[in-house]
Structure 1
Amino acid sequence: MSDASASNAVGAAHSIAALDSDDEVLSGEAVAIEVQPVGLFFRTLGALIDAVLSWAVFLGYIAVRYWMLGAFGDHALDGILSVLALVTAFVIVPCTIETLTHGRSLGKLAVGGRIVRIDGGAAGFRHALIRSLIGVFETYLTFGAVAFLTAAFTARSQRLGDLVAGTYSQKVRTPRLAARVLMMPQGLESWAAIADVARMPDRLARRISQYLDSSPQLLPAARARIAHELLTEASAYISPLPAAPPEAVLVAATVLRRERERRALALADARVQRLSGVDVGV
């Protein structure tokens, strides 16, 4: 395995072992929701696409300006159109697009991003206006240097306009993961008949599922270490704890929890159907 692959595997391992608080927002029910910001490279690519669009609008206004000067010969109109072209191309157009599309733009559509508030809510006109006004300075007057340096040293690749407006670019297009069907490991069927995993927190169960989905891509040492750490944390909610390899225990607990939740939902559906039938009969 190459050094790059090893580095990616270790990075994935760390992301599974502990969820970074910078990549979470709290919902109205105080539930932590994991989100993923757009990386620096894709933010830069999206900004370049948006900049090309703004420059195209500006050049279009320049063409209209020269046509009007040639048609009317009013040089007093030249200054008005110049200011109007700058404001429209670099402030009004980006602000309007982000407001109407709720944080999207041509560049963000291309890279799969969307501007949202820090708390995960939808960005509005005020946020788009602040980003557009500051964007004139950090993106165009400094040739993107301020925006790039600010994004490079912030956890969510936020540029200066994002920091002032309280926004960041959230990734809304994620690659599809191949479905992996987990089966009860051999030798643990009798344990599953008497085991209790109902007290396991949903957050821990989600981390275990994430590990099991990505474990084939991890380095063997990292895979074994994370499995041991997760089992150590989950052992307080697994009773009795079977004598099996850590990853096998995690698979068994996940399968058992999934089957019992599915059975509970099926019983609830059957009860609703039975009660509905009685009501209809009456």
Structure 2
Amino acid sequence: MNELVTGDAVVLGLQPARLPSRALAIAIDLAVVLTVFVLISIGLAVATVTLDEAASAAIAVATFLLVLVGGPIAVETLSHGRSLGKLACGLRVVRDDGGPIRFRHALVRGSMGVVEILGTFGVVGCIASLVSARGRRLGDVFAGTLVVRERVPTGRAVAVPPPPPWLVGRFAQLDLSAVPDGLWLAIRQYLTRMHQLDADVGGSIAQRLADDLAGRTGVPVPQGVPAAAYLAAVVNERQARDVRRVMAAARRGAQGTAPAPVPVPVPTNAVPAAGLLPAEVSRPVEGAASPAVPSGTSPAEAPGGPPATGFAPPA
């Protein structure tokens, strides 16, 4: 089986993880947890060297429960099913319906992991995974969870149907930071396949997803808004925010890497442009008419010459 089908006959398109990838993820997690456990045990042994055997045994048991049992449970709860090993191998723990796991799921998985992984060195877990059609170990069966692959080959992308026009931009102020990726994936899978479902089944799934999404955002679904339309509008708002974020990052990168303007050298013998010529002293133009002499005045009495007296010096 290559796809996950819920109890309402909805194909979620999630691929269950196979045994080799799960074994590698568990090996990475065990290496990290055992290293932390050994370091803490050595530190506590040095610090409690003066205590009696009963107190030392109690501290050892408490360390085992807190580190080897409580550590993986806390990590899977806080990361919504992605431990360090699963993150490295591209795996994730989800519910049977494709939603994100919670504390009770991680608690059951961690408690059963002590028996089938630590107690039997993984033999029981390997046998259970080989027998199960979806590769689930006993902890997954009792917790109602499944380990799926997040890094799947990309195929033909199916566009999410747009919301009604009267809902576009209505959820611009909605806080979407607390919505996990698993819930987004389940909503997207539903929106791309909702026309293939029965009306009653699709309505119940949409209502359940809408309630889960409203619980994550802290804002109830508006009155009179269908659940499917609400989901489409919120997904559209998330996509719009992603587009704006990418465009803003691209603009910042373009501004940070823009080359400085290169100065263009101006030749020294170039003719200045009009309006930038220096002021010059006006020179008379050859062939131009001389200034007219006022009538009644001889040429000798031109302005600026000595006055005529009628006396001629002897030759």
Question: When the two structures are superposed, what TM-score results if normalisation uses the length of structure 2?
Answer: 0.47
- Cα offsets for 1:176-213 (capped at 9, x unmatched): 5699xxxxxxxxxxxxxxxxxxxxxx98xxxxxxxxxx
Q: CA deviation at 1:23?
A: 2.0
Q: Which has the higher helix share?
A: 1
Say which SS state the counterpart of residue 32 (structure 1) adopts.
Answer: coil
Q: CA offset at residue 125 of structure 1?
A: 0.3
Matched, 1:53 2:32: yes
Counterpart of 1:248 in structure 2 is none
1:146 is matched with: 124
| Contact 2:6–2:96 (CA under 8 A) maintained in structure 1 | no
The 2-side partners of 1:65 and 1:26 are apart by 47
Is 2:58 the partner of 1:80? yes
How far apart are the structure 2 equivalents of 1:77 and 1:32? 54
Q: Show CA shifts across 1:68-88 (max 9, x none).
A: 123x44444201211111101
Could you tell me which residue of structure 2 aligns to residue 236 of structure 1? none
- What is the CA deviation profile of residues 164-185 of structure 1, one whole-angstrom value per residue up to 9, with x for unaligned ones? 1111101111245699xxxxxx
Distance 1:31 1:157 in 2: 20
Q: Hey, what's the Cα distance between the residues in 1 that align with 2:84 and 2:38?
A: 18
CA distance in 2, matches of 1:90, 1:47: 13
Does residue 93 of the first structure (1) align with residue 71 of the second (2)? yes
2:135 corresponds to 1:157:
yes
Task: State the partner residue of 2:102.
Answer: 124
The one-letter code matched in structure 1 to 2:80 is H
Question: Which of 24, 30, 36 is the aligned partner of 2:4?
Answer: 24
Q: Percent identity?
A: 39
Give secondary structure in 1 for the equivalent of 2:12.
strand
Write the distance in 1 (CA, Å) between the matches of 2:6 and 2:142. Answer: 21
Q: Return 5+ residue gaps in structure 1 as ranges.
A: 1-19, 180-201, 204-282
2:83 is matched with 105
Distance 1:32 1:176 in 2: 17
8 Å CA contact 2:17–2:149 kept in 1: the answer is: yes
**TM-align CA RMSD:** 2.5
- Write the mapping of 1:223-262 to structure 2, written as runs, cut at 5 A: none
Does residue 40 of structure 2 align to residue 69 of structure 1?
Answer: no
- What residue in structure 1 maps to residue 144 of structure 2? 166
- 1:73–1:31 Cα change, 3 Å: closer
Q: 1:36 aligns with which of 15, 25, 34?
A: 15
Picking from 133, 137, 140, the partner of 2:115 is: 137
Tell me by how many angstroms 1:67 deviates. Answer: 1.1
CA–CA separation in structure 2 for the residues paired with 1:93 and 1:24: 29
Query: Which fold has the larger relative contact order, with Cα–Cα distance below 8 Å and residues 6 or more apart in sequence?
Result: 1
Greater Rg by CA: 2
Cα distance 1:31–1:139, how it changes in 2: closer, same or farther (>3 A)?
Answer: closer
**The residue matched to 2:81 in structure 1 has which SS?**
coil
* Separation of aligned partners in 1, 2:39 and 2:120: 23
Separation of aligned partners in 2, 1:117 and 1:96: 17
How big is each residue's C-alpha offset from its partner over 1:45-70, in whole Å with a ceiling of 9 and x where there is no partner? 10111111221122122112211123
Confirm or deny: 8 A CA contact 2:12 2:98 kept in the other structure.
no
Question: Match of 2:30, as an amino acid?
Answer: A
Task: Encode CA deviations 1:144-172: one digit per residue, 9 max, x unaligned.
Answer: 10001101111221111001111110111
CA shift in 2, pair 1:75/1:24, >3 Å = closer
